Structure 1
Amino acid sequence: MLRARERALKAGTLPRTDSTIEAALAIVRDLARFLTGTRNKQDWALTDVHDLEAFLATMPKARQRRLTVLRQFFRFARSRKIVLIDPTRGVKAKGSSGFSGTTVAVDQQRQLFRRWTTDTDAHPHEALLGILALIHAATSSEVRLMRVDDLDPTNRSIRLGKRPHPVPMDPASWSVLQRCLAHRESQHTDNPHVIVTKITKSGRTPASTAYVSHVLDPCGVPPRTLRSTRLAELVNTLDPKLIAAALGMDPEGVMIYLADHVDPGRLPDQHQQRN
């Protein structure tokens, strides 16, 4: 890379900057650490396509940039006989379209559930958004725009966004909702929305997007992660088409959460062995 920069300077073309070269070397360094620490491989010649896919999956958004650098490196390594086969040859720049975000572990889900249903430290707005996202896969927008007239106390159900049917509330969710309504009542407001802030209590507009986006900051888990956790669980245990219809989503948007593997305990031969 340094020689290529010298040639570019002599030819009057645009040379690589120091930061570009350092960034490329950092990617190769990270791959080396990944191979030795995670894949237990001590030689570049042992690197295969699966190793590269696993490495690129650690940072999906940087996949294309990382792959470009790794292709340059392995071309160089092959020309120097460091590797016999270029492992980047079968790797595509565009990664899988499946879900690659983060989810919340079961133990942490239990902690959050207790925080929002039994503890009194959490703000009512935090508890409402958190419990609706964790249990009912609600979006921040659905909760932010929810109005008092969207609630059905008789059937203990609510209307969320553009969902085609009212959403039945379990006892824990309904209790959290009542706590939020009590907080709203204490503000003596005519604002029709369930979540009312100091700024919106004198008007009729919903809470700002910025306010809702930071409601869950005290617990350290964003609403999107909670919703993704619930969607991944629902889609992999129930019919994805039914989930899409119930949540008012496009089937394509739901299918990305479908895992590409099946739990061993659900395979037919496993059941036969147990019997």
Structure 2
Amino acid sequence: MRSGDALDPCLRCGAVIAYSGNGRYARFCNAYCRKSYHRQQAQAGRVEQPRMLPGMPRLARSRRAPAPPPPPPPLRPAALNRQIPLFDRPMRDLTRYDAELHAELDNPALILARSRAAQIGQERGWSAYVRYDVDRSLPMLLSGHIDGDQIPEAEVLQLTGFNLPARRVAAVLADLDLLTGQRPPAIEDWIVRQTADLPAGFASCARDWLFWLHNGDTRTKPRSDATIYTYFGLVRPYLIEWGHTHDHLREITKDLLLAAMDKLGGRRHHNVLTALKSLFRYAKKDRKIFTNPTQGLRTTRTPAHSSLVPLQETRIQAAADVADTATLRLIIGLAAIHAARPVAIRHLKISDVDLANQRITLNGVTRPLDEFTAQALLAYLRERARQWPHTKNPHVLVSRITAGGQRPVSKYFPKQHLLRHGIQLEEIRMDRVLDEALANRADPLHLACVFGFDATTAVAYAEAARRILTEDHLSLDVSFPDEGC
């Protein structure tokens, strides 16, 4: 009950309850009681209700006043009589920043950057959490800022160690001309390095195609880095093979493409043909070739399990050659031996690994831990302890972004190095399941017990294995094992 309220019966409902000073009506039924009371008075002839005559404008209902527009951004602070710095400001260590000691919230450059960050966030649709993190990051960089100072980009990138959006903050500082030492995207250097090894007649076309995928044009949106890595990994072997017998991309005919596609099947056929279509479509558009040999070729996707075939030895060897770090050896070991999906690898926790008893739990299924995976786990955990000795992240796989939090690594992390070589982690996992099905008489019950599959998935893999065994697919001489084995 507020100080201005009184205890009297309501004129409409008779409830003895505190009512506001705006009339003799209860607060919870104020609007209803007022309308009902005036209606009763009008029916008794005591109050004359206004009548709407033809031509009279209808009064609009009262609405809440619109929110005032945001204040205009402050002007750039005028340059004071300060000495122009002779040298660039050295990069600071943000781990030594203390908000209570170093924050200068009245700095003109900080006030301007905060206002501009709010505007950019509204224009680009940043979430409330991102806007808050950007606003929290700016005092770390602009406290103590004087006119003429430029902030190195390497200093801004230190924010990633605090789980703060360094790229968003860099965009704000670049908009205000306060950022220096901006580096080109890493993928541009990767494109130049990778295409330099191609034959001369194919290198320029492939390089321009990858840059087109990265930057886009007026009618095409830029593609993600993962798409660029995947497309080039799929196309690169064919460009090298064609470079031995041809001098330019324009010499590639449809017969050569069909001969290359005949060796593939299922999802692999679909992915390679999609990447080649993108390459030749760009080359035709940019007038690097006269005709598009992929025109008319169909990329019909077949069901995943019905098109399963064992991986070729060259693909398996390529995956083994890529695993040159402790992280990749662990990822490939979990996929190639335990048939773990990428999401299970990302969410694997330290508590799921029992090295003493040689057991591991994946997707809620506990299974024996083989020697290769155990050694890969020990090597990775030693490397993890060396790089991030104080991390509290419960997951086995951590990165420089997730080491300071509790989140798992991103979806792209387990397969980033494999995609650059055209290797899919899902292919390795499916080949492991298919190999188990071929070795155990295509028994779906065995697959469900070993890998924790449901009935539908286990039956699908068993049917694919049975088809390979009956049709002798790819000239495989596979026979059922003896009953005693």
Identity %: 23
Q: What is residue 154 of structure 1 aligned with on the other side?
A: 356
Preserved CA contact (<8 Å) 1:244 1:251: yes
1:52-73 per-residue CA deviation (whole Å, 9 max, x = no partner) reads: xx99x9559x9xxxxxxxxxxx
Query: What is the identity, as a one-letter code, of the residue corresponding to 1:143?
Result: I
Cα deviation, residue 107, structure 1: 5.2
Distance in 1 of aligned mates of 2:313 and 2:302: 28
Q: Does 1:184 align with 2:391?
A: no
Q: Higher helix proportion, which one?
A: 1
Preserved CA contact (<8 Å) 1:235 1:243: yes
Q: What is residue 311 of structure 2 aligned with on the other side?
A: 104
Q: Does 1:193 align with 2:395?
A: yes
Cα deviation, residue 126, structure 1: 1.2
Distance in 1 of aligned mates of 2:321 and 2:269: 31
Q: What is residue 145 of structure 1 aligned with on the other side?
A: 347
Distance in 2 of aligned mates of 1:209 and 1:265: 36
Matches within 5 A, 1:1-275: 59=270, 98-101=305-308, 103-106=310-313, 108-109=315-316, 112-113=319-320, 116=323, 122-163=324-365, 166-186=366-386, 187-188=388-389, 189-217=391-419, 220-238=422-440, 239-257=443-461, 258-259=464-465, 260-262=467-469, 266=479
Preserved CA contact (<8 Å) 2:330 2:377: yes
1:96-125 per-residue CA deviation (whole Å, 9 max, x = no partner) reads: 674325642245435644764xxxxx2222
Cα deviation, residue 181, structure 1: 0.8
Higher relative contact order (CA 8 A, sep 6+): 1
| CA distance 1:113–1:97, shift in 2 (3 Å) | closer
TM-score relative to the length of structure 2: 0.34
SS in 2 for 1:244: helix
Q: How many residues align?
A: 187
Preserved CA contact (<8 Å) 1:216 1:223: yes
Query: What is the identity, as a one-letter code, of the residue corresponding to 1:177?
Result: L
Preserved CA contact (<8 Å) 1:235 1:254: no
TM-score relative to the length of structure 1: 0.56
Cα deviation, residue 222, structure 1: 1.6
Distance in 1 of aligned mates of 2:356 and 2:385: 20
| CA distance 1:204–1:107, shift in 2 (3 Å) | same
Q: What is residue 76 of structure 1 aligned with on the other side?
A: none
Distance in 1 of aligned mates of 2:349 and 2:307: 33
SS in 2 for 1:224: helix
Query: Which one has the largest radius of gyration?
Result: 2
Preserved CA contact (<8 Å) 1:145 1:161: no
Unmatched 5+ stretches in structure 2: 1-252, 274-299
Unmatched 5+ stretches in structure 1: 1-28, 39-53, 63-92, 117-121
Query: What is the identity, as a one-letter code, of the residue corresponding to 1:242?
Result: H
Query: What is the identity, as a one-letter code, of the residue corresponding to 1:211?
Result: F
Distance in 1 of aligned mates of 2:458 and 2:478: 24
Cα deviation, residue 245, structure 1: 2.5
